[in-house]
Structure 1
Amino acid sequence: MHYVNSKSILSAKNGMNLYRGCTHGCIYCDSRSDVYNMNHKFEDIEVKANSLELLKKALKSRRKKAMIGTGAMCDPYIPLEKDLRYLRQSLELIYKYGFGFTCITKSDLILRDLDLLKKINEKTKVVVQMTLTTADEDLCRILEPNVCTTKRRVEVLNILKEEGIPTVVWLCPILPYINDTEENITSILDMCIDADVKGILCFGMGLTLRDGNRQYFYKKLDEHFPGLKDKYIKKYGNSYSIPSPNNDRLMEIFYKKTNSNNILNGVEDIFEYLNDFPVKDNTQQSTLF
């Protein structure tokens, strides 16, 4: 961990990153890509030391209320957050100044802040976004080794449902020859249906690989799935997009199950829902990320 001072904390579209880097250890993480110019080891978390004062200043000066989002780059509920509490303090500011909140996470640490999430949701709006990739607990410990498994994440989704907090699931990435099976996709979708999620984001069955995350991913394939790296290289080369050979059938299952259970499944529709801030004044609009 190391500290830096930042010039700003909120993007033009109201996204924020309190931390840069992650210790969840997910083998496929796109945030490892060189394109993001992270000039430190990925597990050496960069903490924006002045983020709270910057956020307070930004929220006070924002004329229009909006949804404040985090987690698009790095999970905000990394273990460091348990002690640093930057996100919890951010939630206190978001509540105080009347903004909404949404985040993407894989961690059950979010339940620590359930009291604040409920308060914000009563006042404005909260949407918790949770990533699910595999229904197989043993496989989950390989793909996402340093964070709670799918079973616990689904428990979190159900707790949030009971507390009246809407949720969205990210069904990605789906790794060719690893978790791209009908059994896996059907199991995850059934979990989402039971948890009454508002929407499921799916960008197609597959993943993306760029310099930086490609090398890390292939290293992990060699460790856990001997021989599979060569199969990837032969089929996909250095392609950015790595679609599953089972994409068409799996997407058919995805649309059939989500449509029949009134779950949002269009990417634009879901982001519109995430962006939507419940204002009383129709002249106000909001954007996210």
Structure 2
Amino acid sequence: MHYVKSKSILSQKNGMNLYRGCSHGCIYCDSRSKIYGMEHKFEDIEVKENSLDLLKKELKKRPKAMIGTGSMTDPYIPLEKNLKYVRKSLELVYDYGFGFTCITKSDLILRDLDLLKKINERSKAVVQMTLTTADEELCRILEPNVCTTERRVEVLKTLDEAGIPTVVWLCPILPYINDTEDNVNSILDYCIESNVKGIFCHEMGLTLRKGNREYFYSKLDEHFPGLKDRYIRQFGNSYSIPSPNNKGLMKIFKRRTKENGILNNFNEIFEYLHDFPQKSYQTKLI
């Protein structure tokens, strides 16, 4: 872990990353890609030490909207347990009457359930959770340093009971690893049981580019001997790595989400996540 001073914290679309880098160890993580220009080791988390001051200044002057985090770095990495940057940002989001959404794989988010409920009562809070495999042992290989799928589903159910809407990212689906009907159906069962609002799944597959490709292939050699060579023969250096089962699996995905009233269209889900409700609220100015 190391600290840096940041010049800004919110993007034009109100996204933020309080940390840079991650320690979850997911073998497929796109954020390792060289295109993002990270100049430090991925597991050496960059902490934006002035992020909360910057956020406070931005929230004072921006129109009310949904504040999002987690697109590049899971905000609930282990060091958040002590640093509490996410929790403190949630307090600011609540104080200034904004909404909040984040993407995570961690059950640490339940620590902040009290604030999520307060934000949701005043405006809107949505939690997005990534689910890749229903196989617990496989999950420990694909995402070794974060809670497994069964625990994430418990989190989704707890959030639902608390009235917090949820969205699931059903991705990535890795060719010849978790691209089976049993896996996709099991994850969809979890989503239905948890009453999720929507599920993101553009297609069954993953993306690889310089940086994350090399890391992914090293993990294939470690856990799935011989599979790297099959990827290289079939996909070369392609960015998009579709599952050969994509067509059939997407039919299952679309049919079952439609039958259960779950949003499955990317644009509709993004619109839902960015839509800030015009509720009556009073902000606590600081």
| Equivalent residue, structure 1, for 2:101 | 102
4+ runs of 1 displaced by more than 4 Å?
none
Q: Offset at 1:61?
A: 1.1
Secondary structure in 1 matching 2:262: coil
Letter aligned with residue 151 of structure 1: E
Where does 1:229-240 land on structure 2 (aligned, <5 Å)? 229-240=228-239
RMSD (Å) for aligned C-alpha atoms: 0.7
Kindly provide the CA deviation profile for residues 43-94 of structure 1, in whole angstroms up to 9, marking residues without a partner as x.
00000000000000000111x1000000000100000000000000000000
2:254 is equivalent to residue 255 of structure 1: yes
| Equivalent residue, structure 1, for 2:194 | 195
| Equivalent residue, structure 2, for 1:28 | 28
Letter aligned with residue 277 of structure 2: P
| Equivalent residue, structure 1, for 2:56 | 56
Whole-angstrom CA distance in 2 between matches of 1:162 and 1:267: 25
Where does 1:95-244 land on structure 2 (aligned, <5 Å)? 95-244=94-243
Kindly provide the CA deviation profile for residues 117-160 of structure 1, in whole angstroms up to 9, marking residues without a partner as x.
00000000000000000000000000000000000000000000
Letter aligned with residue 205 of structure 1: M
Whole-angstrom CA distance in 2 between matches of 1:13 and 1:199: 21
| Equivalent residue, structure 2, for 1:92 | 91
Whole-angstrom CA distance in 2 between matches of 1:208 and 1:42: 18
| Equivalent residue, structure 2, for 1:285 | none
Whole-angstrom CA distance in 1 between matches of 2:279 and 2:111: 30
- Taking structure 1 as the reference length, the TM-score comes to 0.96
Q: Offset at 1:201?
A: 0.2
Secondary structure in 1 matching 2:160: helix
Q: May I ask how many residue pairs the two structures share in their alignment?
A: 280
Aligned sequence identity (%) = 78
Cα pair 2:122 2:279 within 8 Å, conserved: no
Q: Offset at 1:275?
A: 0.5
Whole-angstrom CA distance in 2 between matches of 1:200 and 1:118: 22
Kindly provide the CA deviation profile for residues 93-134 of structure 1, in whole angstroms up to 9, marking residues without a partner as x.
000000000000000000000000000000000000000000
Whole-angstrom CA distance in 2 between matches of 1:191 and 1:149: 13
Q: Offset at 1:169?
A: 0.0
Whole-angstrom CA distance in 1 between matches of 2:202 and 2:15: 21
Secondary structure in 2 matching 1:31: helix
Cα pair 2:172 2:206 within 8 Å, conserved: yes
Q: Offset at 1:279?
A: 1.5
| Equivalent residue, structure 1, for 2:76 | 77
Whole-angstrom CA distance in 1 between matches of 2:228 and 2:39: 27
- Taking structure 2 as the reference length, the TM-score comes to 0.97
2:20 is equivalent to residue 13 of structure 1: no
- What residue ranges of structure 2 are gaps of 5+ in the alignment? 281-286
Q: Offset at 1:203?
A: 1.3
Letter aligned with residue 199 of structure 1: G
Letter aligned with residue 132 of structure 1: L
Secondary structure in 2 matching 1:245: coil
Whole-angstrom CA distance in 1 between matches of 2:76 and 2:209: 25
Letter aligned with residue 23 of structure 1: S
Cα pair 2:24 2:145 within 8 Å, conserved: yes
Whole-angstrom CA distance in 1 between matches of 2:143 and 2:200: 19
